[in-house]
């Protein structure tokens, strides 16, 4: 195994470098950001935060108000793959969400 | 007159008039065809599918409104061409409704395009499945939703609201307020006034459903609270 990999190392140096950087990026924590919009109802957003992320009633309410007043809020933080899934889930609920490095 | 969603021992129930159920179902169908067209564009790269888009509207009273809702496939050719030029990522739909239903997942355009290539198809399929289920649920009278069906119906109804809001040009809270006022006072003489009334109606329906759902969510600290986590 190691010798086979060793032989490709010199030829595909940059590829492995990219892969390694990709792996390191995947380890770094990412934020799930939800953005304010005038259509999604407060009750709906609060329900999504509670049922999907399992946030407490108080935390869901606080985050919902943060989105409303500040225009955005970080609703979850985790590995990139998890953050991507969360962002897609938010889009499925019709919320505006993006991921960013924490 | 419609009676709002409320929690009963046999799920969430709403009494809607037959024409109200039919209207929401038609709106779901319009969003479905919009999403399906986006899928066809991406797989075929062809713009031919845009040609038959007006035919489904028929001669019913909502024909004009529904054509407007369907957005007439603005910018199909352009976005298909752009996708061919950059195979690494997938560019955002030019149609504002599709752009709202399938939003960018990152602020950086390059990262957003790459994420879109990975996630848009599954997001589209999830939305299509929700909307189709909602249409099926709208066949029953009264509309009755189980705990599992309620979020699905809610997501579909929300996509209908997002579609209407985008067509009505709602971009901030002031716009939303104006639309609600328009819905409250008018006799729906124009397409926009009719759309505003439908927007207000679906908003009210959504609000009653999720208020009822929030009340039934277990409070934290309850032993059963953790069992509900990640149920989605």
Specify the CATH number for the domain of residue A70: 3.30.1390.10
> Would the ipTM clear 0.90, i.e. be above it?
no
Mean of pLDDT values over B136-145: 96
Task: Tell me whether residue A4 is in a domain.
Answer: no
Residue B2 has pLDDT above 90, yes or no: no
Q: Which domain holds residue A54?
A: 29-101
Kindly provide the b/e burial profile for residues B56-84, where b requires at least 16 CB atoms within 10 angstroms of the residue's own CB: ebeeeebeebbbbbbbebebbeebbebbe
Cβ-proximal residues to A80 (8 Å cutoff; 6+ apart), any chain: A25, A26, A28, A30, A99
Q: Does B224 touch chain A (CB under 8 A)?
A: no
Domain count of the fold of chain A = 1
Q: How many CB pairs under 8 A join A and B?
A: 92
Among A66, A63, A37, residue whose Cα is nearest residue A50 = A63
Task: Tell me whether residue A7 is in a domain.
Answer: no
Task: Tell me whether residue A88 is in a domain.
Answer: yes
pLDDT score of B157: 98
Q: Which of B47-56, B137-146, B167-176, B206-215 has the lowest mean pLDDT?
A: B47-56
Q: Does A4 touch chain B (CB under 8 A)?
A: no
Task: Tell me whether residue A21 is in a domain.
Answer: no
- Strand ranges for chain A from DSSP E: 29-35, 72-79, 96-101
The 10s digit of each residue's pLDDT in A20-69 is 777 776 678 999 999 999 999 999 999 999 999 999 999 999 999 999 99
Contact A51 B123 (CB under 8 A): no
Under the banding of pLDDT at 50, 70 and 90, the label for residue B48 is very low
**Which of A28, A38, A46 to substitute to test the interface with B, most B CBs within 10 Å?**
A38
Q: Output the pTM of the full model.
A: 0.78
Nearest CA in chain A to B126: A92
Contact A39 B102 (CB under 8 A): no
Q: Are strands B11-15 and B143-145 parallel, antiparallel or unpaired?
A: antiparallel
Task: Tell me whether residue A91 is in a domain.
Answer: yes
**Distance (Å) from the alpha carbon of A6 to chain B's nearest alpha carbon:** 29
Give the whole-angstrom CA distance, residue B160 versus residue A42: 17
Q: Does B106 touch chain A (CB under 8 A)?
A: yes
Give the whole-angstrom CA distance, residue A21 versus residue B105: 21
Task: Tell me whether residue A1 is in a domain.
Answer: no
Task: Tell me whether residue A15 is in a domain.
Answer: no
Task: Tell me whether residue A79 is in a domain.
Answer: yes
Residue B141 has pLDDT above 60, yes or no: yes
Query: Mind giving me the DSSP string for B26-42?
Result: HHHHHHHHHHHHHHHHH
């Amino acid at each position: 195994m190691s010798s086979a990999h060793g032989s490709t190392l010199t030829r595909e140096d940059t590829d492995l470098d990219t892969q390694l950087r990709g792996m390191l990026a995947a380890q770094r924590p990412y934020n799930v950001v939800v953005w304010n919009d005038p259509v999604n109802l407060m009750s709906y957003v609060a329900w999504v935060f509670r049922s999907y992320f399992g946030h407490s009633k108080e935390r869901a309410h606080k985050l919902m108000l943060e989105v409303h007043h500040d225009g955005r809020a970080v609703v979850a933080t985790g590995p990139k793959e998890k953050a991507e899934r969360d962002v897609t889930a938010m889009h499925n609920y019709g919320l505006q969400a993006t991921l960013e490095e924490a | 007159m419609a009676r709002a969603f409320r929690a009963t021992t046999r799920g969430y129930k709403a009494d809607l008039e037959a024409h109200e159920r039919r209207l929401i179902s038609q709106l779901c169908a319009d969003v479905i065809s919009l999403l399906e067209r986006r899928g066809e564009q991406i797989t075929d790269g062809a713009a031919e599918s845009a040609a038959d888009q007006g035919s489904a509207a028929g001669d019913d009273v909502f024909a004009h409104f529904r054509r407007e809702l369907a957005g007439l496939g603005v910018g199909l050719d352009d976005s298909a061409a752009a996708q061919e030029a950059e195979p690494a990522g997938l560019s955002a739909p030019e149609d504002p409704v599709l752009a709202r239903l399938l939003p960018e997942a990152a602020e950086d355009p390059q990262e957003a395009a790459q994420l879109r290539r990975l996630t848009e198809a599954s997001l589209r399929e999830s939305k299509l499945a929700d909307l189709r289920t909602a249409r099926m649920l709208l066949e029953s009278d009264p509309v009755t939703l189980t705990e599992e069906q309620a979020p699905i119906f809610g997501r579909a109804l929300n996509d209908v609201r997002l579609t209407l809001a985008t067509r009505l040009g709602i971009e901030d809270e002031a716009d939303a307020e104006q639309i609600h006022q328009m819905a409250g006072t008018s006799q729906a003489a124009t397409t926009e006034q009719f759309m505003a009334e439908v927007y207000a109606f679906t908003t009210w329906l959504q609000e009653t459903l999720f208020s009822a759902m929030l009340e039934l969510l277990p409070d934290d600290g309850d032993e059963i609270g953790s069992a509900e986590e990640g149920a989605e």
